[in-house]
Chain A
Amino acid sequence: MRLIGAELIESREFLPGQWLQAYHAPTLATGSRAGQFVHVRTGDLSGLVLRRPFSINTADRATGTITIHFRTIGRGTSWFTHLRPGDTIDMLGPLGRPFEVDSRSRHLLLIAGGLGMAGVRALADEAIRDGRQVTLLFGAASAREVYPTSLLPDEIEYVVATDDGSMGHHGFVTELVPEYEAWADQAFACGPEPMLRALARLAATRRGRLGVAALGRKRGAGKAAPAGSPAARRKAFLQVSMEQRMGCAVGACLGCVVMATSGAPQRVCREGPVFASQEIDWDGGWGR
């Protein structure tokens, strides 16, 4: 975790209201892993007192650049769109814990809903670099919000679902998952909470449906790792990248918690943003 000045290299609105920005930040490009994020300061401290967290969308070690992907939803995010190449902004990062890929996993299933693409995008690059096969399932409201293939690596299989059927599968992206469940060694998801909840339910019943347990496969059968440890997460079929309103992003303010099945709130910024799906209490806890 460092505070660094990152210079804007390129900024463009690649979809209506959605922006991709590339920043020169060599320490982040080389020192971060897929799933981690940066906490970025907005310019006007008197009006906007909080930084904005962004997933590291892609990290290019060769050029020392990272990209962030965001939708303009308020004053903070629109402030970023007014930056010009050459402007330097203040980034705190890399923060949070990354996706944990088992070294034996050959087939990775990535599932993204809308802006959730920003959460899993870097993992596609990382997995391909490591020689794994990647299928990316992407869900959006309509064709005009579909992440363009030109921004994705050629090596992946990209499957699209839209809520209105204007492109690809007509329906939710979660409906595509059963088709790939048997193929995938591990799955990684980022998106709206209802989507993640549905995926977690699928993952919980996957072994039974596929008969994995009956076949006596070794995966997950070894010695129990403590919940939340990298080893335990590597063994989980599904890892999810969670979102929550965030304050400090280093674990100090306890603002960005999600409830865990253990009964202890987990900080999205510190224990997360990536969690094994079974770590999360999807009913919300707190007696709701």
Chain B
Amino acid sequence: MKAKRRIVTASGASAPARRRATVRRFKSAIVSAPPKGAATRRPPAAPATAEPSPPIAPAGGAAVDLRVDLGRGLVLPNPILVASGTFGYGIEYGDVVEVDRLGAICCKGTTLKPRIGNAPPRVTETPGGMLNSIGLQNPGVDAVVEKYAATWAGWKVPVIVNVAGESVGDYVEVVRRLDGVPGIAGIELNISCPNVGRGGLQFAIDADAAGGVTAAVRRATDLPLLVKLSPNVADVRPIARAIADAGADALTAVNTLSGIAVGPGRERPLLGNIYGGLSGPAIKPVALRIVYEVSQVVGIPIMAIGGVTELADVLDYLAVGAVAVQVGTAIFADPAIPVRLVDELAAVCRGRGLASYRPLIGTALPKRASAPSAKGAEYRP
């Protein structure tokens, strides 16, 4: 199904006096508009019937290469992803988000068996962030494949399935069932969910366990394999190294920080599960530190996540060595943020005369410290 994607502007300029006036069929050209009269360039491969594809290269402007090569044939169209758990299965936001303009979608954490998740309340706002404790509610891998894979296969945007489990066997079995399914572009191993009793976090806090589960999953699939790190450890570097050595294609850093909130009346903790995971702008400095540390000890690409709400956050993460960023909590405030960041990143590159965003990567890292990536974007020496 190819639904027409609409963006309804919230700007005062086109305040909805009439319904039609509020609907823009296509994303308008990006910030720095090309001079009038410039020849319109279309991607040569675009079929004649396709909607004019606006994306990264506006007519006449220099095309900026935003592609991210994660290895094993997974090339993201741009480095702005939506984070697992904040974007459901990609369909929930409907016409409000142009999903085909995203770098990739990481879907909700998927387990072997259906899970009903934790008792509510499951979310609460905190200063500069939020706590969540969903407890991996999901219908199970088989239902996910049956319900969504066909839809995903029709999308241009790669869908990366986030996989969680309680044992190595669980992870391997889920991944086996995802392997070879059309519409599934990659796997993100969630070995760091702080909100489930058994499993989850235990794999992320020990280098041997993290390496073990990564290696087991690696043997089970040729799909691109991302592994999501937990910030709830003393030193994440040995864990990251173990995961990289075990054959992961990329790392996602980081998952939520464990935290709690106190309920009204102060009679008990607020969340039904007591513990929740902190996300949002509040955790950005922590995530930034971890990306900075990890990017100096592993050679595989790192996807940064933690409090991205504006372009400056994206540029910060790139500067400390990330090749891509995931947007999570900010989507709840403004679902249009990820697509806007894609445009803004391209505009910044154009403004600096860059043909690619890759020179922005690793600029804040200590010189000579980081090994060049074996695949994916090139690091600056």
Q: Which of A235-288 contact B (CB under 8 A)?
A: 244-259, 263-265, 270, 284-286, 288
- Pair B19/A27 contact, Cβ less than 8 Å: yes
Query: Most chain-A CB neighbours within 10 Å: which of B92, B94, B95?
Result: B92
How far is the CB of B274 from the nearest CB of chain A, in Å?
13
- Pair A284/B119 contact, Cβ less than 8 Å: yes
- Pair B123/A250 contact, Cβ less than 8 Å: no
Give every chain A residue within 8 A of B10 (Cβ-Cβ). 3-5, 88, 90
Interface size, chain B (Cβ < 8 Å): 51
- Pair B281/A49 contact, Cβ less than 8 Å: yes
**Per-residue contact bits, chain B 6-41, to A (CB 8 Å; 1 contact, 0 not):** 011111100111110010000000000000000000
Q: Which of A1-60 contact B (CB under 8 A)?
A: 1-5, 7, 24-27, 41, 45-51
Give every chain B residue within 8 A of A254 (Cβ-Cβ). 85, 88, 108, 117, 122, 134, 137
A interface list, Cβ under 8 A from B:
1-5, 7, 24-27, 41, 45-51, 76, 88, 90, 92, 244-259, 263-265, 270, 284-286, 288
How far is the CB of A37 from the nearest CB of chain B, in Å?
15
- Pair B86/A248 contact, Cβ less than 8 Å: yes
Answer yes or no: B121 CB below 8 A from chain A CBs. yes
Q: What are 18 contact pairs spanning A and B, CB under 8 A?
A: A3-B335, A4-B16, A7-B12, A25-B16, A26-B19, A45-B281, A45-B330, A46-B309, A49-B333, A51-B332, A90-B10, A244-B121, A249-B332, A252-B87, A252-B108, A253-B85, A255-B123, A286-B119
Give every chain A residue within 8 A of B128 (Cβ-Cβ). 46-47, 49
Answer yes or no: B120 CB below 8 A from chain A CBs. yes
How far is the CB of A96 from the nearest CB of chain B, in Å?
13
- Contact A255/B122 with A2-B22, A50-B130, A265-B117 known, Cβ cut-off 8 Å: yes
- Pair B336/A251 contact, Cβ less than 8 Å: no
Give every chain A residue within 8 A of B353 (Cβ-Cβ). none
- Contact A248/B15 with A27-B22, A49-B130 known, Cβ cut-off 8 Å: no
- Contact A250/B92 with A5-B16, A50-B130, A286-B272 known, Cβ cut-off 8 Å: yes
**Per-residue contact bits, chain B 198-229, to A (CB 8 Å; 1 contact, 0 not):** 00000000000000000000000000000000
Query: B85's closest neighbor in chain A, by CB?
Result: A253
- Contact A258/B334 with A45-B309, A46-B309 known, Cβ cut-off 8 Å: no
A46–B330 CA distance with the chains assembled, in angstroms: 10
**Per-residue contact bits, chain B 88-103, to A (CB 8 Å; 1 contact, 0 not):** 1000111110000000
State which of A88, A251, A255 has its C-beta within 8 Å of the C-beta of B15: A88
Answer yes or no: B230 CB below 8 A from chain A CBs. no
- Contact A7/B15 with A250-B93, A254-B108 known, Cβ cut-off 8 Å: yes
Q: Is the interface of A mostly helix, strand, loop or mixed?
A: loop
A286–B309 CA distance with the chains assembled, in angstroms: 34
A288–B93 CA distance with the chains assembled, in angstroms: 32
A90–B128 CA distance with the chains assembled, in angstroms: 19
Query: B133's closest neighbor in chain A, by CB?
Result: A255
Give every chain A residue within 8 A of B19 (Cβ-Cβ). 26-27
- Pair A253/B123 contact, Cβ less than 8 Å: yes
- Pair A258/B120 contact, Cβ less than 8 Å: yes
- Contact A41/B137 with A251-B92, A258-B120 known, Cβ cut-off 8 Å: no
B interface list, Cβ under 8 A from A:
7-12, 15-19, 22, 85-88, 92-96, 108, 116-125, 127-130, 132, 134, 137, 272, 280-281, 309, 329-336
- Pair B122/A248 contact, Cβ less than 8 Å: no
Give every chain A residue within 8 A of B329 (Cβ-Cβ). 49
State which of B8, B116, B120 has its C-beta within 8 Å of the C-beta of A2: B8
Query: Most chain-A CB neighbours within 10 Å: which of B12, B95, B118, B125?
Result: B125
- Pair A4/B330 contact, Cβ less than 8 Å: no
Closest 6 CB pairs of A and B: A252-B88, A255-B123, A286-B119, A252-B92, A5-B10, A251-B92
How far is the CB of A258 from the nearest CB of chain B, in Å?
7
Query: Most chain-B CB neighbours within 10 Å: which of A46, A253, A255, A258?
Result: A253
A265–B117 CA distance with the chains assembled, in angstroms: 8
A44–B18 CA distance with the chains assembled, in angstroms: 29
Contacts beyond the supplied A45-B334, A288-B119: 6 A-B pairs with Cβ under 8 Å: A26-B19, A51-B332, A252-B88, A254-B108, A255-B123, A256-B120
Give every chain A residue within 8 A of B130 (Cβ-Cβ). 49-50, 247
How far is the CB of B121 from the nearest CB of chain A, in Å?
5
A45–B331 CA distance with the chains assembled, in angstroms: 11
- Pair B123/A247 contact, Cβ less than 8 Å: yes
- Contact A286/B118 with A5-B16, A26-B16 known, Cβ cut-off 8 Å: yes
A73–B138 CA distance with the chains assembled, in angstroms: 33
Give every chain A residue within 8 A of B336 (Cβ-Cβ). 3
Give every chain B residue within 8 A of A286 (Cβ-Cβ). 116, 118-119, 272
- Pair B134/A48 contact, Cβ less than 8 Å: no
A255–B333 CA distance with the chains assembled, in angstroms: 14
- Contact A253/B124 with A49-B129, A51-B332, A247-B332 known, Cβ cut-off 8 Å: no
- Pair A255/B132 contact, Cβ less than 8 Å: yes
A288–B19 CA distance with the chains assembled, in angstroms: 47
- Pair A50/B118 contact, Cβ less than 8 Å: no
- Contact A4/B22 with A25-B16, A265-B116 known, Cβ cut-off 8 Å: yes
How far is the CB of B265 from the nearest CB of chain A, in Å?
14
State which of A27, A250, A251, A257 has its C-beta within 8 Å of the C-beta of B120: A257
How far is the CB of B370 from the nearest CB of chain A, in Å?
30
- Pair B88/A251 contact, Cβ less than 8 Å: yes
How far is the CB of B352 from the nearest CB of chain A, in Å?
26
- Pair A49/B22 contact, Cβ less than 8 Å: no
How far is the CB of B115 from the nearest CB of chain A, in Å?
10
Query: A251's closest neighbor in chain B, by CB?
Result: B92
